[in-house]
Amino acid sequence: MFKKKPFFVVFEGIEGSGKSYQSKRLYKKLKQKKLPVILTREPGGSKTAEKIREVILDDYFHKNSDQQFDKNTDTLLYLAARNEHLINIILPALKKKKIVICDRFIDSTFAYQIYGKSVSRELVNNIHKHILGKIRPDLTILLTVKISKALSRLKKRKKKNRYDKFSKNFYIKAQNSFIKFSKKNKKKYLVLDSSIDNKKIEIKIFETILKKVTKLYGR
């Protein structure tokens, strides 16, 4: 007999890694299987968190440094958005025993804010302790990519935001951080090279997730 439980899967990776595309593909395939699944993202995901996202993105379109947020203010905005997202979207879905697919989560904060911008780890950890509790992904799908490939993909984007405009060295640093996290708890990560064929990646992700959720939902 199957015992229905929630399942929380997160997609991580630098810009141009294909995580947003693959998260949408996984969502579509699970919906086709008539599984209880939602797709969300960070920063954003809920109405209130999306408002904070707009503030964050708008700030980084200002060219003058005195019009941009301090790195700690920037981080606190991300964490505020996460709190709203958790309260309004993630936690209610998990309580209803749904599969939650999230495009970015806590690893991105560590890769971008702590390692990328040297924000205090203690600051982030203390706030996470209050807003996250024991909530952690059941599986994180990390999509790595050759930096040259990622930059090539970003150039083709018609609409760009702050995430698409970091330096090559920043992306290298961020990706190395993601890989470092994945090695600390290999059972909780699926690491795939997204430089290869998208279809192969899509199939591998779907087969992995379907196997895991079948044990929970019996489908």
Tally the residues of the chain.
Answer: 219
Strand extents, DSSP E, 139-199: 139-144, 189-193
Summarize pLDDT for 156-186 with one digit per residue, the tens. 877 776 667 788 899 999 999 999 999 999 9
What pLDDT does residue 2 have?
47
Give the number of other Cβ atoms within 10 Å of residue 97's Cβ. Answer: 14
167 CB-near residues (< 8 Å, 6+ apart): none
The torsion angle over the Cα atoms of residues 98, 104, 110 and 116, rounded to 10 degrees, is: 180
User: 198-217 vs 19-32: helix axis angle to the nearest 10?
Assistant: 50
Helix (H, G, I), strand (E, B) or coil at 161: coil
What pLDDT does residue 59 have?
58
- Judging by DSSP bridges, how do beta strands 99-103 and 7-12 pair with one another? parallel
Contact 101, 23 (CB under 8 A): yes
Query: Which residues are registered as beta bridge partners of 100?
Result: 8, 38
What pLDDT does residue 1 have?
40
What pLDDT does residue 65 have?
58
Q: Candidates 3.90.1300.10, 1.10.10.10, 3.40.50.300, 3.30.450.20; correct CATH number of 7-41+98-217?
A: 3.40.50.300
Alpha-carbon span 39 to 9, nearest angstrom: 10
Alpha-carbon span 207 to 10, nearest angstrom: 16
What pLDDT does residue 129 have?
96
Which parts of the chain sit beneath pLDDT 70? 1-3, 59-67, 161-163, 218-219
Domain residue spans of the chain: 7-41+98-217
Alpha-carbon span 195 to 193, nearest angstrom: 5
